[in-house]
Amino acid sequence: MTEENKFSMNQDILILAIESSCDETAAAVVKNGREVCSNIIASQISLHTLYGGVVPEIASRKHIEKINQVIEEALSEAGYALQDMDAIAVTYGPGLVGALLVGVSEAKAISFATGIPLVGVHHIEGHISANYIENKELEPPFICLVASGGHSHLVEVKDYGKYEIIGRTRDDAAGEAFDKVARAIGLGYPGGPKIDRAAKEGNPQAIHFPRARVEDNDYDFSFSGLKSAVLNYINGCQMKGETIPVADIAASFQQAVVEVLTEHSLRAVRQYGYDKFAIAGGVASNSALRAALQTGCEKQKIRFYYPSPILCTDNAAMIGAAGYYEFIKGVRSGLDLNAVPNLKLGEG
């Protein structure tokens, strides 16, 4: 059946989605953009933990080992054959170039061999679109905070596939700060979930860490000063021969990040005149951040949307959701699709 016939007959659109931009090899089958038929994630975290962070070369090699298996599992768990798919959606940036290339090459090979159309997807657009999966009523426009290991963006989601970045980090991403602080206090990689857990035992008011303001854009973030303040505090403890108060540092650091992210986000929602706000990316699974945003949104009568933790960190279901909206708009990628490690949001 041709694509046009399929659209006009209101038939289901099935997307096979592939994600390999960092340290998760993932594939998913997504129906009509919002229904997840399968969502398979092979995490490499235990491998990279040995080195205290993601080693790009190891990530690429592991993706190659896992990708076919993950795709087969995604199709079989969903109960479909490859030929049932209407499109192959794949993350082509931003991310680690060697890691991205594995997914992109795989998707191109499948598309070439089967004739199934190919749709390149922006990783951040994927994170934002994770919100559509469990919130069937959510439609643009809205404001979204994307906070992950590589990005901290405040985004105005004007329409499907139409974004304006209104704030970004000037230095470290929020997740990167979590990872670096966790390493410094001996919690290891990945830092976010470990600080989240340790903070529950600590006092968020115990140590006052700075909340950076960025001079010329009220919506931009800066986390490197906060990270340095934590490192200085740890040095101070060591020089005085004091034990490092891990739980209090975790709680106080987390509180500083949460306050800044919450304050910027709620101000953006108000000033842009929206009543809907969503969060996305690995840091969006942080329990203190979710609680602070929930309370803030309730006070200001803003509807607050957030994905389940498994859809916050890297996965392919979110790429399938984003890929669907690109696909129905008519976006198609050629076999010359390449990995773009620093792809900007809104760039085609």
Q: What is the CA radius of gyration of the chain?
A: 20
* Residue 196 Cβ vs ligand KG4, minimum distance, rounded to whole Å: 4
* Residue 144 Cβ vs ligand KG4, minimum distance, rounded to whole Å: 13
Q: Binds 98, which of ligand KG4, Zn ion, none (CB < 5 to 8 A, cut-off by type)?
A: none
* Residue 335 Cβ vs ligand KG4, minimum distance, rounded to whole Å: 26
Binding to Zn ion by residue 176, rule CB under 5 A?
no
Cβ-based neighbour number of residue 165 at 10 Å:
16
* Residue 124 Cβ vs Zn ion, minimum distance, rounded to whole Å: 8
Say if strands 14-19 and 87-93 run parallel, antiparallel, or are unpaired. parallel
DSSP state of 283: G
Complex with ligand KG4: residue 13 or 258, whichever CB lies closer: 258
Binding to Zn ion by residue 148, rule CB under 5 A?
yes
* Residue 281 Cβ vs Zn ion, minimum distance, rounded to whole Å: 6
Q: Binds 326, which of ligand KG4, Zn ion, none (CB < 5 to 8 A, cut-off by type)?
A: none
> CA 85, CA 21: separation in Å to the nearest integer?
22
**How many H-runs (helices) and E-runs (strands) does the chain carry?**
12, 10
* Residue 100 Cβ vs Zn ion, minimum distance, rounded to whole Å: 12
Q: Binds 192, which of Zn ion, ligand KG4, none (CB < 5 to 8 A, cut-off by type)?
A: ligand KG4
Complex with ligand KG4: residue 27 or 85, whichever CB lies closer: 27
Binding to Zn ion by residue 24, rule CB under 5 A?
no
Q: Which residue has the tokens 């957030």?
A: 306
Binding to Zn ion by residue 248, rule CB under 5 A?
no
* Residue 231 Cβ vs Zn ion, minimum distance, rounded to whole Å: 25
Interface size with Zn ion, residues (CB under 5 A): 2
> CA 127, CA 273: separation in Å to the nearest integer?
23
Residue 250's φ and ψ, nearest 5 degrees, are -60, -45
Complex with ligand KG4: residue 200 or 329, whichever CB lies closer: 200
Cβ-based neighbour number of residue 300 at 10 Å:
13
> CA 143, CA 10: separation in Å to the nearest integer?
30
Q: Binds 172, which of ligand KG4, Zn ion, none (CB < 5 to 8 A, cut-off by type)?
A: none
Q: Binds 111, which of Zn ion, ligand KG4, none (CB < 5 to 8 A, cut-off by type)?
A: none
Q: Which of 176, 220, 248, 314 binds Zn ion (CB under 5 A)?
A: 314
Distance of CA 110 to the CA centre of its chain: 25
Which are the contacts of 104, defined by CB distance < 8 A and separation ≥ 6?
90, 91, 92, 120, 337, 338, 339
Tokens representing 247? 């739980």
Q: Which residue ranges make up the site for ligand KG4 (CB under 6 A)?
A: 22, 148-150, 175, 178-179, 190-193, 196, 281-283, 285-286, 313-314
The per-residue b/e assignment along 334-343, b for 16 or more CB within 10 angstroms, e otherwise, is eeebebbeeb
Which residues lie near Zn ion (CB under 5 A)? 148, 314
